[in-house]
Amino acid sequence: MENNTTPQFINPKELFNPAPYGFSHSIAVESPFQMCFISGQSGGVGEHHLLATDFQTQVQHALENVKIILQNHSMTFDHIVKITLLIVDHNQEKLRIWTEEASKVWSSASLPTSTLIPVSQLALPDMLFEIDAIAVKVK
């Protein structure tokens, strides 16, 4: 990434094209730090955004989508400082599943700040989970 103040818009080719929907998958900004703002990622897979029908698989795929974006910014999950979770029809079982999957990508020493928002629906009828993130890396 160039060392300037112009935001860099990164839309990994492994993910669907978000431009027709009016957003970018991620934006990086450099100052004394490299900052990456990641748009909400669902459990949609590939260019066609194929969604699994179960919550756990959607969480796994959403985290994989976040990982793809982080890699495009030369970052890892340890660089994430803030996440927001949107969960359709949230309950204790979904919280357990989220906690289990989160523990696979974050150690207890590097947990990001977090907000979980229960919702009745998301952008697409079959979406059950969405996560957005902010990552920061010291230059």
- In which domain, by residue range, is 51 found? 8-138
Kind of pairing, strands 33-41 and 80-88?
A: unpaired
Task: Answer whether residue 3 is part of any domain.
Answer: no
Give pTM, 2 decimals: 0.87
Residue matched to tokens 């993910």: 15
Element holding 92 (H helix, E strand): helix 92-102
CATH classification at residue 77: 3.30.1330.40
Domains in the chain: how many in total? 1
Residue 1 within any structural domain of the chain: no
Per-residue model confidence as pLDDT tens digits over 32-87: 889 999 999 999 998 889 999 999 999 999 999 999 999 999 999 999 999 999 99
